[in-house]
Chain A
Amino acid sequence: MIESVFSYLRDAWNGLQGFLFFLPPFPERIDTLALLSLVLVVGLLVAEWLRSHWQWPRVLGYVVAGTVFGPPLLGWIKVDILTQIRPFADAAHGLLLLEAGRRLDLRWLAHNRDLLRGTVSDIALSFLAIFLFALLLVGLSPAWAAATAAVTMASAPAVVLLVVEESRAQGQVTERVMLYSSLSAAASFVVFIIVLGVVHAYQSGSWAHSLTHPLWAGGGAYAIGWAVAQLTLRIAGRLPKRSLAQVFVLVAMALLAVGIARMLAVPVFLTLFLMGVLLSLRDEAKTLSYTSLPEGHWMLAIILFVVVGASLPWREFTWLTGLQAIGLLLVRALAKTLSMALAGGELPLNKRLLAGLGIQPLSATAVFMAFEISRLYPEIGGPALLLAFFAAAIMDIAGPVLCRFALVRAGETPSEQETGGNGA
């Protein structure tokens, strides 16, 4: 029906061109900027509606908007359009990961060894549980089971960051959720790079690459992140703290890191995350610590999660894969909550379990990262990661809700009475 309307319009337009010489050819494609604004507004409206009616996190609203209006359902956002706005989504994701990295305070681990125990058990148990599930119950090969585990073991720092900011949560559960999600994401990057090297070697027979590529990807991301972080601190040190100029420097330097990483085929998201971590770790004079990203990063988040929603592979959904994804998520949830419970420490058990619930988000952006790296290996395609993609798709819907629920139950968000019914 839309096609017939367009066809009528096209004919009318072409007819008018005979009289009105200044008319351009009929616009066959919507302008990218116009499209961006539509995506923003639609995502925003859906998110606000869900928020005001059901108290759902806004992130979820953006994903739902993308799913409904994207290729999986109505198809109003087409695949080529997704490709057009993908760079904006990547930029948004990069900046959110940079911010998540900046908030990761590794010094905290030195003061509180319980956290180190929690982190290690989360990473180890999650990887092991998912690997065994994929290997023994789903029947994937060891290499692909490891790849699936590497991608899905991590929490989603970008989602957690947005949920924490939106719900204005403060407290030990919140801080731990942010710490664990960032550290597990970092571990996931590293493990996935190693696993890919092994997979590549397994398939191509060249073991040289299995060693050099992880080194190139991991070492390169670290080197670029370190160099750009140092440069950023030097330049920002000449500017007033918390000034707008510092914000510009931060964003510009992040883009510089993206550019260099792309030139050298180094994982962009890992580079930005490491840059954020190093900015936090090396900034002893607190040059940039008090400078926050402008509120505009929320606008970028809308684009990011609408694109995520629109990219979810619901068309390839089968009941078997769906059930396997649910099984994977249950195993993963069990591993994460168990690791929090077993890690011990002075935080009461109920709060540790809530922290375990809070780190459940698994964003499809994790899978994007995997694809970013796997593009380097032509033999590795999407189907191999379909299970991971479905698990991510389900958690894109459920993850923000679980995370918010954990923060609310921990008593770390302002009550209705405190916000006067005007909660964010």
Chain B
Amino acid sequence: MSELLEFAASEPLTLGVELELQLLTTRDYDLTRGASDLLCALKHDPDHGDVKLEITESMIEINTAPRSAVDAIAEDLDVMREALVLQCARNNIAICGGGTHPFHAWPERRISPGDRYKNTYERYGYLSKQFTVFGQHIHIGCASADEAVWLTQALGPYVPFFIALSASSPYVDGVDTFFQSARLNAVSAFPLSGQCPVLDDWDDFLAHYAFLYDCGIVGSIKDLYWDVRPKPEYGTVEIRVCDTPLSIVRAAALAALAQCLGRFLLRVRPPFDPARALLVARYNKFQACRYGLDAQISCPEQRRQFPLRERLGALLDNLREEAEALGCQRWLDALRQALVAGPSDADWLRERLAAHRNLHDVVRDSAERFCDVRTLG
């Protein structure tokens, strides 16, 4: 087991982004079975990353190559987006972002081919099909395993910001959930979802993992569905709470925030009490999912609440120095613009519903927005 969990050190603060995308029928913009057919015929440049199957056939995942600069991440994402849009047109299907499909019927989803997905389906049953939700994962490179464990926990209090900025899943089963991000409710059904426990260092993580392994609770690191988790084989820390945004630009901007934040935390190493942070983590996460940028989040140090919007604005100001050093200021500016002027992705979807009065056209607009290279944020 220790061999399996060897931490492959990576270049510090390199980035990698995974985006899970929705495959739709152009007939009525419901989800459709199309991933393996798409992958079979897709021609893309592997220098820009990879395209993979996900748990059901209505999902496809794009992974960028590890990059030092956000601009390169944005380019990778855009090149793969373009390849996918082209191939989807050839297969007469559409593709879009967003954390949930607003009206699909989960029993209709098909499990992707392969033993891994078959085993997942056998293990989790219908949860696997309900897991047809779409997230963005951001990897941040770490120089050492201990650094990764520390960063995993230090990023915890910032999870609500990532949720609020990416929230794009207000609709589930054809109804408005009143949540800005309802996707994470599907994730929370899994037994090892949520926050990472308090861990001192890599050895402590290994001991915790060994305990879970011996108890038969995990079989691999992939069974840990934590909001933020170390990813030993990549030498990274992985932020897993974001909905897939409606545009590539927002996805790149979120990667910029992760990189700046990682640099800030590792450089400054601000004092941090992980045990105390855990006490409010679930509440703050709920607030961000439910209210998005309008959430109120609790601060365990000051024992009071703050508007998330205010805290996020202050954070973006604080990260200016990091952004300049990393050359990604314009991406943070895009986030600030979204924070000030809106609408958020979830609000944009609600606006489209108000205009169309049916969710089919809402998804159609999402697909058009995803295809439009000029779409900002």
Which residues in A have some Cβ–Cβ distance to B below 8 Å?
A: 103, 105, 108, 111-112, 168, 170-172, 175, 240-242, 286, 289-290, 346-348, 411-412, 414-415, 417-418
Contacts and interface: CB of A to CB of B under 8 A. Distances in A.
A361 to B, nearest CB: 21
A112 B90 contact: yes
B233 to A, nearest CB: 30
B358 A242 contact: yes
Given A170-B33, A240-B357, A242-B360, A414 B110 contact: yes
Nearest to A292: B28
Contacts of B360: 241-242, 286, 289-290
Contacts of B40: 346-348
Interface string B52-80: 00000100000000000000000000000
B37 interface: yes
Contacts of B34: 170-172
10 contacts: A112-B91, A112-B92, A170-B34, A171-B33, A171-B37, A175-B92, A240-B358, A241-B360, A290-B358, A415-B111
A284 to B, nearest CB: 11
A103 B27 contact: yes
B373 to A, nearest CB: 18
A114 to B, nearest CB: 8
Contacts of B28: 289-290
Contacts of A171: 33-34, 37
Q: Counting chain A CB atoms within 10 Å of each CB, which of B92, B357, B364 scores highest? A: B92
Nearest to B118: A417
Given A108-B92, A289-B27, A414-B110, 9 more contacts: A103-B27, A105-B26, A111-B89, A172-B91, A241-B357, A241-B358, A286-B361, A290-B29, A415-B111
Contacts of A415: 111
Contacts of B197: none
Contacts of B27: 103, 105, 289
Which 10 A/B pairs are nearest by Cβ-Cβ distance?
A: A346-B41, A170-B33, A172-B37, A108-B92, A111-B89, A112-B90, A290-B360, A290-B28, A241-B358, A170-B32
Interface of B: 25-29, 32-34, 36-37, 40-41, 57, 89-92, 108, 110-111, 113, 121, 357-358, 360-361, 364
B110 A418 contact: yes
Q: Provide the main secondary structure of the chain A interface.
A: loop
Contacts of A417: 121
A170 B33 CA distance: 6
Contacts of B37: 171-172, 347
B154 to A, nearest CB: 42
Contacts of B26: 105
Contacts of B29: 290
A50 to B, nearest CB: 25
A178 to B, nearest CB: 10
B358 A111 contact: no
Contacts of A170: 25, 32-34, 57, 110
Contacts of B33: 170-171, 412
Nearest to B364: A286
A358 to B, nearest CB: 15
Nearest to B108: A168
B22 to A, nearest CB: 14
A233 B110 CA distance: 34
A112 B38 CA distance: 14
A42 B297 CA distance: 65
Contacts of B121: 417-418
B69 to A, nearest CB: 34
A417 B118 CA distance: 10
Contacts of A111: 89-90, 92
Nearest to A348: B40
A111 B85 CA distance: 11
Contact of B90 (A103, A346, A411): A346
Contacts of B90: 111-112, 346
Given A105-B26, A241-B360, A347 B41 contact: yes
A289 B26 CA distance: 9
A369 B258 CA distance: 65
A168 B34 CA distance: 14
Contacts of A347: 37, 40-41
A16 to B, nearest CB: 57
A176 to B, nearest CB: 9
Given A112-B92, A242-B360, A418 B111 contact: yes
Nearest to B361: A286
Nearest to B126: A420
A360 to B, nearest CB: 21
A242 B364 CA distance: 15
A290 B356 CA distance: 13
A241 B353 CA distance: 13
Q: Counting chain B CB atoms within 10 Å of each CB, which of A111, A172, A412, A418 scores highest? A: A172
Contacts of A289: 27-28, 360
Contacts of A414: 110
A111 to B, nearest CB: 4
